[in-house]
Chain A
Amino acid sequence: MSSAQIEIQLIASLVAIACAIPGTFLVLRKMAMISDAISHSILPGIVIGFFITQDLNSPLLILLAAITGIITVVLVEYIQKTGLVKEDTAIGLVFPILFSIGVILIAKNANDVHLDVDAVLLGELAFTPFDRLLIAGVDVGPKSLWVIGCILLITIGLLFAFFKELKISTFDAGLAASLGFSPAVIHYGLMTVSSVTTVGAFDAVGAILVVALMIAPAATAYLLTTNLKRMLVYAICFGVFSAISGYWLAHWLDASIAGSITTMLGILFLMVYLFAPNKGVIAVLYREKQQRTEVSLLTFLLHLRNHNEEEERHVNHLNEHINWQKVRSKTVLELALKNNMIVIDNHIVSLTEKGTDFTSQAIDYIITNEDSKIEHMKDDFFLFRG
């Protein structure tokens, strides 16, 4: 590995961490699309800042772009408040228009501006090591590394300082307000951090990857845990993992680094989406099937309880009576047998003592119609689940 390669991976990882922290809160606050809007609408801010400073890494540029980000948020909220359109429409209207203004500004001054839209949207990590920061003639590393490093330090500092406030206002805005934390301050604080991070990162990785790095690690982590601290840690790990593995994928395919980091994030999310232990699609489908069988079992036991006549309890008759397919009746019968709820004697099914007990509790549950889950009853009675 050459030093440029190490630097690229370092920058990518720092960007991933800096994005994952505000991203986690954006996902939890259901404001993920705001990050997309900000990442597009900072374009006019960047362009104007660039006209003034002629330098893509100047602090003024970051400031101007961050202000544009805040303006976006304020505009969206204002339009939403007028009640003329819904929030999502407001977002969808504001950012393309601001983005268009940015594109036109660039186009009108294309001759004397070294800045093109592709670079803003996509960034180019591979070139970042060439733009060195010189302090008193000494090369201290790539500029982007310093920019994103500073932003990351500030973000981490703010996270530790206001973790409690952020947590409480994210999960219970009303409680936070009544405890005296202003939700507005925290809201705009988070928006500012997101804007600044987006601006700081866009130069290196482009606007779209910023969105991916903010949302994808947080969403992936959210599928695995419901603990905020753990979610933050997971999101950071996923971000850094994709950054480094994405770099090597790009190296191997000779393609855009930003694109391959996003692709790695996508693969990671797809894996977790399918295989997460509790919330993954496969787990959810399995649980749905289990619950369907268990509801069938309950229906079946209730039926048994209601009929004392022998012909009603004959195995073949049940098939017709409850109108189940053969496979389904067989699964249900087996499950009931395994759980010692029924005994089959000469093709006549009858409830055991445990079965009767379970059924009467189930009836109680159904009659009272309490807003609690039936899960604890299943835990008490079931040796095997459906």
Chain B
Amino acid sequence: MDITEYIKLVFTDYTLRTITLGTAILGAVTGMLGSFAVLRKQSLLGDAISHAALPGIAIAFLITGAKDSNILLLGALVSGLIGTFWIRGIISKTHLKSDTALGLILSLFFGFGMLLLTFIQKQPNANQAGLDKYLFGQAATLVESDVWLMSIVTGACLLVLLLFWKEFKILLFDADYTKTLGFNTKFIDILITTFIVLAIVLGLQTVGVVLMSAMLLAPAAAARQWTNSLGIMVFLAATFGAFSGVFGTAISASQNNLSTGPVIVIVAGVFVLISFIFSPSRGLLFKQIRFIKNRRDLQLHKTLSFMYHIAETHENISHPHAIKILNNFQGFTKGTLQKLVRKNYVKLEGSMWSLTTEGFKTASNLYNQQTENNE
């Protein structure tokens, strides 16, 4: 189907509209909260929490026997929080490092969740079918009430972010200072972590346990490349997240046999790749360009200083010399010589060159650091 047809469908078709809206909102909220996870160096926490939520879903189902997605998500939230705080306990109380703690909780909780899921599957309860959609997510199962729930959580999260913006920001960049100012760091910390867990749990239904961490990280990592301001980063991350949701849904809807979760993740990955390469201040491309430019400048300076040392030995600094004597020195080409001429440092006459007064002055101050950056 072509694009115009697709856009028409988004507005007319109930299922497609719900899914597009749902993934967009999900992308926005995970991008927003993911910024904090990335900046707090808790990137992998998302991965651990999303796995740790699985037993909660299974236990919630075992207790209620019904597949009400709100109750299942509540179970996921509780078990995700238990996982998070156990990770903290392991890091603070033992000498195990954070990566070990994350890996432990991730795999142990997930394994336990699998045990429960397979146990449930053997139970004579017709309701249990479809619980395993939480493993890989199925955006197609989103209904309007799910989208409402997401919107409410996003709204609440936005409200809390605005209310505690100052606190979050200061905790993020200088935790010790926050403490000395008298803020209750533990409370702020728990608040932000709870919201991160909440966002992850919301996404489980759509993109699943395994890919949730990318939803959290990718928009934030992409946004980080474009700005150094937290506010702009959070906004950009939310935008990137929302667009990955929309594009991902569009691509997977227009093809057969493409599940939405992985496509969204790959779209987000493309955002990251583009940001890594093309961001003006941090991107790899511009970094390389700057690198080459700096190298050229350095070569130019080398040529100039070589000329300076020759000119120094003569009484008249503008005494002409043959270009040939620059030959044993690699830094010179016709191009660089022309460049020097254009800057009015050097005069060329036939096969002879001579330094101008200005060129001599610049060259003598080249390594003094006091001259302005002469480009």
Contact = CB atoms under 8 A, between A and B. Distances in A.
Nearest to B267: A100
A100 B211 contact: yes
B269 A93 contact: yes
Given A32-B102, A93-B272, A284-B94, A118 B43 contact: no
Given A101-B266, A215-B104, A266-B112, A107 B93 contact: no
A121 B135 contact: yes
A40 B111 contact: no
A107 B315 CA distance: 80
B107 A96 contact: no
A50 interface: no
Given A215-B103, A219-B104, A262-B110, A118 B135 contact: yes
A36 B107 contact: yes
Contact of A258 (B43, B47, B114): B114
A23 to B, nearest CB: 9
A266 B111 contact: yes
A260 B210 CA distance: 20
Interface in B9-62: 38, 41-44, 46-47, 51
Interface size class of A (residues with CB under 8 A): 35 or more
A108 B255 CA distance: 9
A260 B115 contact: yes
B135 A262 contact: no
Contact of B258 (A107, A118, A211): A107
Contacts of B211: 96, 99-100
A60 interface: no
B119 A212 contact: no
A256 interface: yes
Highest count of chain B CB atoms <10 Å: which of A40, A91, A208, A212: A208
Contact of A263 (B104, B115, B224, B265): B115
B93 A284 contact: yes
Contact of B107 (A86, A99, A253, A262): A262
Contacts of B210: 40, 96, 99, 121
Interface string B236-279: 00000000000000000000011101110110010010001000
Given A36-B106, A117-B136, A84 B225 contact: yes
Contact of B118 (A211, A212, A215, A259): A259
A194 B225 CA distance: 32
A122 B284 CA distance: 38
Contacts of B106: 36, 211
Contacts of A40: 210
B96 interface: yes
B97 interface: yes
B65 interface: no
A159 B224 CA distance: 42
B172 interface: no
B8 interface: no
Contacts of A263: 108, 111-112, 115
A265 B265 contact: no
A336 B103 CA distance: 45
Contacts of A266: 108-109, 111-112
A211 B102 CA distance: 11
A216 interface: yes
B95 interface: yes
Contacts of B116: 255, 259
A30 B89 contact: no
B213 A258 contact: no
Given A33-B103, A262-B112, A284-B94, A100 B266 contact: yes
A101 B136 CA distance: 13
Contacts of B265: 96-97, 100
Contact of A93 (B221, B282, B284): B221
A265 to B, nearest CB: 6
A96 B214 contact: yes
A279 B94 contact: yes
A244 interface: no
Given A104-B258, A281-B89, 15 more contacts: A32-B102, A33-B102, A85-B221, A88-B41, A99-B211, A104-B263, A121-B135, A215-B100, A222-B96, A222-B100, A259-B117, A259-B118, A263-B115, A273-B90, A280-B94
12 contacts: A96-B210, A96-B213, A99-B262, A100-B214, A101-B266, A122-B114, A208-B111, A259-B111, A262-B108, A262-B115, A279-B94, A284-B94
* Nearest 8 pairs of A and B residues by beta carbon: A262-B111, A259-B115, A96-B214, A212-B107, A100-B262, A259-B114, A266-B108, A256-B118
Interface of B: 38, 41-44, 46-47, 51, 89-90, 93-97, 99-100, 102-104, 106-119, 122, 132, 135-136, 210-211, 213-214, 216-218, 221, 224-225, 257-259, 261-263, 265-266, 269, 272, 276, 282, 284
